[in-house]
Structure 1
């Protein structure tokens, strides 16, 4: 259960699962002769008639449980003779159509029992936070007494009247000998323990819950969606969802913390401390959320402080939880590292505390935003989705609603277009300044590298792995602007939102994280375009399936049945032909399955994936001075798997940062930025109190979004076997010279094996030795429009 919406709360239970003691309590109270009559109770009717004649009052309705079911399903509650006659005839018809057990099951699940609870299952949860089988005798009696007056005898609103009603039910059970005198005596002494319990949420996932609610409202209309009692099952994996929520939260806190402390949220006193009771009242006015707890600074030592939380707990905050809090000046500037607690806190301040899993630390509400989405690349099922840091503070779903500039995350698709036209991973592209500017934007646009360094002719694999801007622009020029745009559209990006100029080579178009992760899934699944989905199944209140997902599958369909032929050799030839096209290893689905469109060849998907692995693992020989890192080298140290690939992305002035990547089973995109697009993510200076491996300098995809991706994928893939690289048919490997990309007979550090689509491998051998440069590059802010 991730959420519950609607006017009525229901937890349907089968008759066999209702505790016998609860059945006894209901029958003893409402209809003691239920199993003897045929829908109406002559004895009860006679008794009610005598009372009416003698007193002139309708004090007893004489309605059986069957009559109450008839009224609840088909009639109103108005007290008229016509309604009563209809009720009797309907009850007789119901008795002929259903068994007694079925009628009682309807009654137990249909009755309104107060506080939006319909049925005994929902009442057990609402009033006691329990399942039916966990209720004790006083609780059972309380629920059994509710159908007559669910509002007036409500144990939350009117506990004294509810107590009298409960004890009357217990007396009826004693009279009918369904409980003993000892049980009765003990039960009537029990206090009223009912209190309101919300829906029993197993996993708090508000953004995906809201998507499911919107989906059902759009499908059925608001009234039917809220009152129909539907069960909606999503594609979310609870473990991966928790991993995603923790990774996003930790990454946002880390960004916020390295940019400095913005100060107290309030001043509670300056001279005279508040009384503890008054202080706690003030603190409780601030709601704790996302692990943040409001607290008051009570005293300060040299490098520690004592704080009182809103829960009345005293926390001793040590230096390890304080020393990070250098002063925030701007997103680009921080104060000096503090040396004492007095440089950070003042007695009487209200601040936020957070337990980071190891110790308590001073904290604050982050102002930066983020999103993470992960899906199965083989069918598009969304496995985890977090649309922001806190649904409590913002319901805006950045995964599906925020369109932000893509930055260098676009480069794999630009290189795909070039590979389809003839480039290889060994193709040399000139890493040199671009002098012939693109003027289609109205101004001369001359892209430059970040950092502003140029190495001359460089292999395509290195250019993508190190996110070299001018190489991406030259690659797009080779493919052609029309071909590049057509390729982006093929991957699912919207044509009308793609600028028709060369800036798209560096990601000037705006997209949602969901579009991005779907596009990257094509590389993970071998070239297919999947459709993301999050609804697996919808059932109505009776358990009938009204909708079931039918995802398109990223694989070849099963081989078609063999044609009937009298020629055994022809049939055998056809069988071999089909076996060559589709094997059990790469086929999936069944006769009713839908299959995804192949948008790039398996060979092209493999080559781009290999280059994206170099983004993480780099290349060359470090011992010989030719080693180089890709922009996402941190992922290799955190995730520590060789079946991962990915791409960093940063836009102008670090307004948007991305990391998108995958292994063969899971594709994930992380975005970090401000909701206000005019704000820059900025930069940080080295913190003297920070860790040795701290992040500093300009914010960028590798440093800002990357750590969130690294943490999520590390936890998500833990326990799953690493999937070895298996080149598809049509891919060959030859040894090339690393400097020229040509064939070589050398087997030393100046050469390496490279993958090629068969027929595109180099035909010439190198004639001279050129060593690769020692390059160590991070994906800092890619300047799109300089």
Structure 2
């Protein structure tokens, strides 16, 4: 027997032995492929289907075979496996060519791999280049061909192959490199993508465009050779320049803070790997409201900056000898902020600043575009108005610019001040809009709406007043807006005045501090705290005291919205939530929110039909707990309307609506500016302040800084919505009262007040017994009690009789 024959015999025997030993160890192809789960990013959507964010290491958009354009499939077959539909998983011709190549060169090649073999290797084997692994690949490929159809194999292949830059699958690659769906690609782009998998990290059209272009042209030639395209189409594609670049996720709606909340929630409940399982999360965010909220916050923060002056450039750069390439490299490292473009001041010409924005773009800033930028000194002091552009910016300044309404570029720095705006649906607590700063960036991810703890100031007073109503007071009960000393603390009102005895309604509308403190003292701190906890506030017993009336207990904007929602929906406690539903990668529902819901039809009305006034909910709904008497909610809504009509929030009258109510809030030294308000459909809380608790400055109270943000937003939110009407719930009676005394009156000038019928005869503000609750109404009109001085040792002073017996 000759040597060649002996070698062949030994080879066959060795192969047979390998097959016998290897077959039992090979994975179960059928079971393995049935369990294949292609990694996909976590996608977050708004309630109306707008993409808010994608999370996950891999970018992938799996499609079915029928969704791949036929010409795209032909491009891949032309370069990877032109006989794919003819062979049974092993291309004998290609394998023979590879063996001859190895015999002549001694170099192992991968040229014999079919698409089936690549699928087999990627799903079952390692990428090592050994004959043992290659033989296992061949055996498994034969099994794969018997298990799946050709179309199924191609579907796996096109969805799984790597294209560089974390893109897996050709659909994701199309979006990444061209910003297009597959159906929008032309022949040249299809050929370019088909050439990437051979060397995805080093020869993709972004990393190495020259090499990628050579590969593309080779594939176009193969497509012509195989008859997939004609000569005319080939010439057109060959002449086409490639414009591939990296495209970010095609986000439809800017809502980074909410999207990050979703990511964390999914990771907590489903594990970190959930970000790769293609979950689709639908939030409660309304695209229209979210956009309006973002616009309102940004406008308010920019306006604040203009009122208080320019704080200078973000950085100063030495531009001596710098080229456009150098400046481009520098600007690429500057964080992007929506609507505010970063630029470098390169010099001056004809009195205008020359600003380089990157990519060869240059703009100029004249005096009119920087005239607002008086130098910031402190919250209450600005420098002189600039007389030339050079008074504001200098060469090498890193600045921000934006297009104004006239299409001119203007100086517009990232505001140092920040703000929050959150809207909650009063019926079920759905968070419909949430903005927690000027922009969500890598350096600004703190979610102030949820995680911030700040004093709410006077915006907390309505809960004190509601506690008083719960104990028997009425909106016309008289409270004392007079000085009080508690230990070393002697609070004052901002105007340093005392109004004396005034009705509760007026005290709340004018946000009188002394009146609120005296009222809390009369109600009792413990009684008030016990009641206020019904609104969802976690009041630490260690911080309870008279100062609670001024909003010194720290809380978050979302918590304030949760509390105000109870006034807005007639007394039901709904819980703010932001995830509506979750689906897996196959579209199967795995979670559906079932939030507690307030009564659907027993509060506001917008047409002629009256509210049903029943606490029932639709079949299958989860009823919310009713935590306060609806009559208290009605009275508080009425009192809060006074804040808008003649109190501290009259700027809201510009909306021209009678169904908006709310309360301003300002903390000591004007460090926080709040406005919390609602309408039948929306509970919206606005806040402005500095993260470092810096002073906002004179004139930035809640009635200006926060309220301007709130009204700008609500103007958009309420557009085309009918005015809602609120009628008194059962158990209320109309009484003519003397507004200055809080007593019933028959005078023609007396005002009409609606009070709970059981307290009709106690219009002077009976002081209920802290143990037994509201005093019992008597037939005789109670005599006026003498004002009591502040009690020693912090004992609450009483403004009215403790009980009925004290009247006599």
Specify the TM-score bucket, using the shorter chain as the normaliser: 0.7 to 0.9
CA shift at 1:347, angstroms?
A: 6.3
Aligned to 1:310: 357
- Distance of aligned partners of 1:161 and 1:610 in 2 relative to their CA distance in 1, 3 Å threshold: same
1:221 equivalent to 2:271? Answer: yes
Distance across 2 between alignment mates of 1:116 and 1:451: 61
Aligned pairs (5 A) from 1:34-433: 34-41=84-91, 44=94, 48=98, 57-60=107-110, 62-84=112-134, 86-88=136-138, 90-95=140-145, 97-222=147-272, 224-263=273-312, 284=331, 289-293=337-341, 294=343, 296=345, 305-311=352-358, 312-319=361-368, 321-335=369-383, 338=385, 340-341=387-388, 344-345=391-392, 348=395, 350=397, 351-358=399-406, 360-392=409-441, 393-433=443-483
CA shift at 1:299, angstroms?
A: 5.1
3-state SS of the aligned residue for 1:76? coil
CA shift at 1:723, angstroms?
A: 1.5
Report if aligned partners of 2:160, 2:169 keep a CA contact under 8 Å in 1: yes
- Distance of aligned partners of 1:94 and 1:663 in 2 relative to their CA distance in 1, 3 Å threshold: farther
Distance across 1 between alignment mates of 2:742 and 2:389: 61
Distance across 1 between alignment mates of 2:131 and 2:349: 77
- Distance of aligned partners of 1:248 and 1:63 in 2 relative to their CA distance in 1, 3 Å threshold: same
Aligned to 1:565: none
Report if aligned partners of 2:477, 2:763 keep a CA contact under 8 Å in 1: no
Measured on the aligned residues, the alpha-carbon RMSD in Å equals: 3.3
Aligned to 1:499: 543
Instruction: Kindly provide the CA deviation profile for residues 51-108 of structure 1, in whole angstroms up to 9, marking residues without a partner as x.
Output: 5566655434544433433332333222345544554555455455544433322221
Aligned to 2:652: 635
Distance across 1 between alignment mates of 2:144 and 2:91: 14
1:758 equivalent to 2:757? Answer: yes
Aligned to 2:803: none
Distance across 2 between alignment mates of 1:669 and 1:132: 43
Bigger Cα displacement from structure 2, 78-87 vs 197-206: 78-87
Report if aligned partners of 1:295, 1:353 keep a CA contact under 8 Å in 2: no
Bigger Cα displacement from structure 2, 662-671 vs 170-179: 170-179
Give the counterpart of 1:664 among 664, 680, 705: 680
Instruction: Kindly provide the CA deviation profile for residues 222-248 of structure 1, in whole angstroms up to 9, marking residues without a partner as x.
Output: 3x1343333333222222222112211
Distance across 2 between alignment mates of 1:547 and 1:87: 40
- Distance of aligned partners of 1:585 and 1:103 in 2 relative to their CA distance in 1, 3 Å threshold: farther
Report if aligned partners of 1:317, 1:360 keep a CA contact under 8 Å in 2: no
Instruction: Kindly provide the CA deviation profile for residues 134-172 of structure 1, in whole angstroms up to 9, marking residues without a partner as x.
Output: 111011011122333323432222333322322232222
Distance across 1 between alignment mates of 2:61 and 2:288: 25
- Distance of aligned partners of 1:642 and 1:82 in 2 relative to their CA distance in 1, 3 Å threshold: farther
CA shift at 1:117, angstroms?
A: 0.7
Distance across 1 between alignment mates of 2:409 and 2:237: 45
Distance across 1 between alignment mates of 2:705 and 2:391: 25
Distance across 2 between alignment mates of 1:525 and 1:273: 64
Give the counterpart of 1:482 among 515, 518, 526: 526
3-state SS of the aligned residue for 1:538? strand
3-state SS of the aligned residue for 1:395? coil
Aligned length: 700
CA shift at 1:346, angstroms?
A: 6.6
Aligned to 2:627: 599
Bigger Cα displacement from structure 2, 161-170 vs 403-412: 161-170
- Distance of aligned partners of 1:715 and 1:497 in 2 relative to their CA distance in 1, 3 Å threshold: farther
Instruction: Kindly provide the CA deviation profile for residues 426-483 of structure 1, in whole angstroms up to 9, marking residues without a partner as x.
Output: 222122222xx334xxxx3232222222222222122111111122122222322112
Report if aligned partners of 2:601, 2:613 keep a CA contact under 8 Å in 1: no
Aligned to 1:782: none
- Distance of aligned partners of 1:280 and 1:606 in 2 relative to their CA distance in 1, 3 Å threshold: same
Aligned to 1:715: 716
CA shift at 1:315, angstroms?
A: 2.9
Instruction: Kindly provide the CA deviation profile for residues 335-373 of structure 1, in whole angstroms up to 9, marking residues without a partner as x.
Output: 45x373379447647354443434544443422222222
Aligned pairs (5 A) from 1:456-605: 456-496=500-540, 499-555=543-599, 587-591=616-620, 593-605=621-633
Bigger Cα displacement from structure 2, 534-543 vs 130-139: 534-543
Bigger Cα displacement from structure 2, 132-141 vs 601-610: 601-610
Give the counterpart of 2:696 among 681, 691, 698: 681
Distance across 1 between alignment mates of 2:259 and 2:762: 57
Aligned to 1:566: none
- Distance of aligned partners of 1:411 and 1:97 in 2 relative to their CA distance in 1, 3 Å threshold: farther
Report if aligned partners of 1:743, 1:763 keep a CA contact under 8 Å in 2: no
Report if aligned partners of 1:497, 1:510 keep a CA contact under 8 Å in 2: no
Distance across 2 between alignment mates of 1:323 and 1:152: 50
Of structures 1 and 2, the larger Rg is shown by 2
3-state SS of the aligned residue for 1:533? coil
3-state SS of the aligned residue for 2:686? strand
- Distance of aligned partners of 1:587 and 1:74 in 2 relative to their CA distance in 1, 3 Å threshold: farther
Bigger Cα displacement from structure 2, 116-125 vs 88-97: 88-97
CA shift at 1:633, angstroms?
A: 0.7
3-state SS of the aligned residue for 2:540? helix
Distance across 2 between alignment mates of 1:706 and 1:450: 18
Aligned to 1:12: 62
CA shift at 1:524, angstroms?
A: 1.5
Report if aligned partners of 1:123, 1:143 keep a CA contact under 8 Å in 2: yes
3-state SS of the aligned residue for 1:712? helix
Instruction: Kindly provide the CA deviation profile for residues 20-49 of structure 1, in whole angstroms up to 9, marking residues without a partner as x.
Output: 110222233333344455555555556555
- Distance of aligned partners of 1:279 and 1:6 in 2 relative to their CA distance in 1, 3 Å threshold: closer
Distance across 1 between alignment mates of 2:215 and 2:680: 62
Report if aligned partners of 2:309, 2:374 keep a CA contact under 8 Å in 1: yes
- Distance of aligned partners of 1:363 and 1:92 in 2 relative to their CA distance in 1, 3 Å threshold: same
Report if aligned partners of 2:425, 2:682 keep a CA contact under 8 Å in 1: yes
Please report the TM-score for the alignment, with normalisation by the length of structure 1.
0.81
3-state SS of the aligned residue for 1:373? strand
CA shift at 1:646, angstroms?
A: 0.9
Please report the TM-score for the alignment, with normalisation by the length of structure 2.
0.79
